[in-house]
Structure 1
Amino acid sequence: MRLKRALAACLYVWLVLAGWVACAFAADATDSRDRDIAQFYHTAWTVREGAPGQVTALAQTQDGYLWVGTQTGLYRFDGVRFERYRPREGGDFPASSVASLYAPASGGLWVGFRYGVASFVKDDRATHYAAASGLPTGTLYAIAGTADGRIWAATFNGLVSLDHGMWKQVGPALGLPGARARNLTVDSGGRLWVATEDALAWLPPGGHRFVVATHAVGRVNRIAEAPDGAIWVAEADGGVRPAWVAKGRVEEAGPVLRLSSAGLLFDRDGALWMPTLGDGIRRVPWVHVLAGRTIGAESGEAQRFVENQGLSSDYASSVIQDREGNIWVGGSRGLDRFRTSRLLPAMLPPGATDFAMVAAADHGIWVGTKNRPLSWVDASGVATAHMNQAVTAASRDAENTWLGGPGGIWRLRDGKAEPYAPLPFPDYSGVQAVVGDGKGGVWVSINRPGIFHFTEGGWEHDPLPAFPNDPAPLVLMNDRDGQLWMGFARDMVLIRKNGRDTHIGAEQGLAVGNVTALLEDRGTVWIGGENGIGAVVDGRAHMIATKGEPLRGVSGFVRDHRGDYWANAAQGVVRISGTEMARALEDANYAAPVTVFDSLDGLPGTPAQFRPLPTAVVADDGRLWFATTSGIVSIDPANIPRNPLAPPVSIRSIATDAGTWPAGGNVELPAGTERLRIAFTATSLTMPERVNFRYRMDGVDTRWREAGSEREAIYTDPPPGRHVFRVIAANEDGVTNDDGASIAITVEHAFYQMPWFFAVCAVIVALLIWIAFLIRLRRIASQLRARLQERHAERERIARELHDTLLQSIQGLSMRFQAIANRVPPDEPLRVAMEGALDRADEALVEARDRVRDLRSHGSESGPLDVALRALAAVYAAEHTVPVVVTVHADLRGLDGLVCDELYGVAREAVHNATTHADASRIDVELRLEARDLVLSVRDDGRGIDEGVLRDGRDGHWGLRGIRERAHVVGGVAAISSRLDGGTEVAVRVPVERAFPGYHTPLRRWWRRLRSALR
């Protein structure tokens, strides 16, 4: 009884406290103030990861870079790589120990050093200020700018302002009390706040006199503005407190925190962050709740995060919030980042393992473990119930919340755990599945063959004889129709209703392996297992395909209030759109896209794969809970943190084997560049690991290249010319910076890549071709001359043979026949006939001799063609008494020898035919140039030639055919025309280029003269 009363009292106090906190905070679930500092996603960069040590100041410029000031120099960070910064123009920094940083909204960065040096950096050009510009020799504690464009600096020697390139001390002139300016800032109203050793004062926008806010300040390290406009200070000796409010009392603005803080920051949600010199970092989520109180260093109201929890160093000196909302802390050993993760870790007791989860009433979940008491867990905290029994399985139906463990079965009612029944085997170590039967009883699987059912009558055991190997269900579920679903190992599902069992397995299409999750949703039962997700519809199983790596180890599967599906899988927490899932269910070939939430989203360890099951739960308020090997995380599907800022993209450097070029302006690379490396980055500091890049180089790439998270592009043997390299990036939520960054890269031409080189090569090739052509022409001409000489020699041989054999024999025969004729009396008719035959024989001999003479003679031997033709005319006119008139209207100098011979042969044949067969009274021979042809024309006025003879020739005669053949030999065309009423014309046309090898157009004549001059 005492135990029950104590438990009830504790629960009552806890409910009252939870209600008060909820009412007091009245904050949205996404408000980071609802989180403990340990629930932020923390990342530390130490010297091992390349981070600088001894951090003294932090700032973020408009290009997204995080700047880290240290005692040994200035560094910048893009989320992946730390780079010691040296300006490209203006010279290196005159000092190395950085005391302060300020990034104006207009761009650039102010760097304040110790011992009176300041520099302004913009577009990689630095402007330095020292004593010569009026800057005091003391340390620059802080730098800030006001809306009127003035730059102010707090120095050991007082407040100074930059005016036309010169620094002037302005504190006394503006009524600022004190000789030293320890710190300054500009609030949201444009007021310039300055802390001196005597007072905290502010200068109105455009004002000319400081207004003293309070004299009650000590050595102020930092000044910060709270969301309500209150001004807070961090004092070296007095801690952190509000120092000024516009209305009301200062005490109502917040508590006094007795902490030795080296910095102050109110984040966007109003939480106060304070780095300390030796005690890590402190955070106060709700300063108004603690107004009027004094909080000590050991108070729990100021959340603490120290080196033992993963902080790079307990000695922290600076803190800022970047434009994406991340908190950055700089310390003696490195840099730390705190960001709001998508998955919220539950604040469970340390050492808890094997989480059995079930939704609680209204909101939150109940969590039972093997080694810690039963707990109620919500996004805002954890409450422990008075039940120390180990819990290995849990479920909830319309009436009861069931818990099972080695000690038996319990029911939760009004937040109290009541024993329900002991296990049927007292020596058993636990329960692996429990579910109510809807009638006040419960079904239990205890890793013994079969299933156990407890009612008022006690335990009943069903050995499930239909299954081999005596299996026990891994998961149990009651659907809305009262059917009991049992999931087993090796693709086995059993459905029991009214004592009848239905089996779903590999034969029905199920291929999930061991069944570890069951979900009923609108007539479909979803099944999760080690090989993915399946669905049972109308007694058939359908496997769901997903894009990317197939889902494995699905140990929890739920659907949120928005209709999307969530799985706790080996890859992480996976979300699948309800629309995409419906499409994948209808089309077996469709792969549904998935969104994976993994360690970068705040998932601790790996998702739990086996017992307790299930590992995913939907709470009544819609929040989803997932169990892992290292804890429990939750997410609100309706309010998932999203990064809406497109990442600024910049090109860092251009490198080749010959050296490195800064990425500014037009980069000119030497000729013969073999390997080009372009380094780029995107300053998205929340999840730089998930920033995806795409790039292309105009003139080289025909499409955008997917670089993934790689931050370098490599080109081998880039072609010469001017190219523009472009790169764009998208952050972890797919928000893309389409403008990206670009740079013009010019690769110089080698001499063999220059246009004049190609022109020279073309000329040389043309000359070589021309020379080869001339050599070929000479070879052909030589071959033609050799053939012509062979032809002439053959004609002379034939002439000799004819003269020495045939003609001599015919002459001898004629003489013998003449001797016989002389014996016949003159008056005898036989003598007359014989005399006539002898006359005919003499004529034949004369004609034969003429033919032999023609064979042995050549036109070229008689000189030019016109001379040869006139000689031929004279011979025929004398022998045949037929006038032959030769007319030449062409300059025959340079006439080809073969053409001369063939035209002479054509003329001789035509004249011979006219004198022998045409009975002509006049023969005209004409040579003329007509258009681009040399024309030889032989006309007579004798008898014409029959058309058949013109077409086919006369049997046994080869004269006409020979004329055509001669014309063809020299590339010409012969035309023979005749009229029966008188007259025949033989015309041969030869192209002048063939007839005169030296014939040229003006350009070719010019080239000929040039060639002759070069010889």
Structure 2
Amino acid sequence: MKFSDADPALEGFINTVHVDKTNNLWVGTDKGLLKYNGAHWLHYTDTSGLNSNKIAYVENDSNNNIYILTDKGLQKHENNEWKTIDVYKLNQKAITKMYIDNNDNIWFLTYSNGAYKFDHTNWEHFDSSNGLSDNWTLSVIQDKTDNIWIGGAEGIDFFDGNSWKNYLGNIINHPNTLYYDNNKLWVVTIGGGYSIFDGTNWTTHNRASGFVSNHVQKIEKDKDGNVWIATYSKGIIKYDGENYTYYTDENGITDQVWTSFIDSKNNIWIGTSELSAAKFDGENWSYFNSDNSPLLNSVNDIFEDKDGNYWFATFNDMWNGLICRYDGEIWKTFTPLDKGSVDKILQDSKGNIWFAYSFTDSKKNEIIVKYDGDRFDIVSLSTELPEDTIFSDFKNGIYTIYEDKDSLLWFGLGEHGVLTYDGEIWKHLTKKEGFPWSGVRDIIQDDEGNYYFASDDQGVFKWVVNHDDIKTQVQKKVPFNTFPNPVKDVLHIKNDNVLIKTTQVELYDVNGKLLYTNYYHSNYELNMSSYPKGVYIVKLKYFNYVYT
């Protein structure tokens, strides 16, 4: 069964889909809640009992009662009525997941305050102070023996009903932003601190190694050589090469810093998730919020254009974003798109300012806006890309914008690769061009023209690109070591490149017949004991590279 724009009920941005115990389909949108019973649609809105039309999550309990979470709180559908439930002190905008377990407890995961459990009478709060490995929680599931498993930024947490056990993950698997300086690649990871790659070795700075925070958002260097480290739990930190200086809520700024920016005057700006923005001139902090500016609560990005104007990507929730410009005295606001979160800002070498959005009109794929100094032009990817492009690939918006040394613009997608724009032609790089099928959070180019990409599910990878056709060139060094040869029982495959996360192994006989295939992470042991003695071919694939 397929639903499309032809179905009159399917209007608005779809945030969640849920199937209840009697196979009814529930669709949460920003224009209400839809129910499909297999034949007819039923539309619930704020005129029929909902406290808001913006539906974030839908779940059902063991009695098939429906619970919804909106931007105005929690509601239960019972006896054909919607009843509002007090949600304690929860910030609905900070919730990453709602889940109802086998005992009808309702769990709420958040990106900054851990997890909450509600048994319909009492609330329990779990965070890093009483069992969780981290306060950034993303996923939850209950096993057959009623244990709760929570996936977070640092790993997996196990709860047996009484106590927690932590299983920490690989810190390099979730890179967020990249910074390149003095032939060193700095990688900021989600929940893993930051790591520095000198071309041979990795050095990691996180809580386990003595650094104060695992939640690093961005790294930049000022004109004096100081490195500024923006964190989501410990404010912003200055590192002069020997000592760390901490700027936190004790200095009047929030500990939860989303982004940072160093302007032409060497001032450090920060965007936060609670108190809008602040500027530090080396001695004093200046604060910008709703009292003295049009900025909304959260600031995703800050940028200074060539004329010295400051641009802010700001939002209240995922649907309501705003572009703000500040010339040092006067503020001006722009809303080129009716809805959506403004995430990134960049000015290209021609003077155009680009804005990247998420949570916009998924039908038109309007996630890019260009400002030429006079007007805003909205880029609809439905018209700029070929007709056979799968437009739903762009539903999560854009993580990053980057201009390379040849003035080619790169846009890292929330899902499935990147877009490029040379001033005339848009291209979507996918598996066909050798690009991994994943979200790209950041892009950077080194002094030799090589590209580094921080991706959601491929770690950090290096790409050598020919701009004429944007094809991947052959990597010279073989990143694998296989032994022994000849093989007795087990062939050991060792990955010598930490940038490679997922590899496919294939085993062929001398006639080219495929005997075995599998995917693995890190190192692998291929059991050959069940195959007759003879000559076999092993093929290893990662990205678009193939080694035999």
Normalization by structure 1: what TM-score?
A: 0.27
Identify, as 1 or 2, the structure richer in strand. Answer: 2
Normalization by structure 2: what TM-score?
A: 0.46
